Amino acid sequence: TMMQIITMQAQPFDQFVAAHPYGHYMKTSMWGLLQEKQGCRCERLGLLKDGRLQATALVLTKTTPWIRWQYVP
């Protein structure tokens, strides 16, 4: 079993989120774009297992003069 983490384009990322039973608007690329306007950096990641997409994560990074933090909604 081979697993791989990839960076994803918005459309296939959002299609996976929309089709998933736990999909939520805060897990979409549009939410990431909104957060970028608030000063976050956004990464759309996918987990492939044997070449098939199994999971996605919207990783948001916020940096201030005091701390840098990341979260996945």
pLDDT one-digit tens code per residue, 32-53: 999 999 999 999 999 999 999 9
In Å, what is the CA distance from 41 to each residue of 13, 30, 37, 70? Answer: 17, 13, 9, 9
0.75 surpassed by pTM: yes
Residue located via tokens 């759309």: 44
pLDDT at 1: 81
The pLDDT mean for the chain works out to 96
Nearest to 45 by CA among 55, 35, 37, 36: 55
Residue 31: band (very low, low, confident or very high) from pLDDT cuts 50, 70, 90: very high
Coil/strand/helix, residue 73: coil
In Å, what is the CA distance from 55 to each residue of 38, 40, 52? Answer: 26, 22, 9
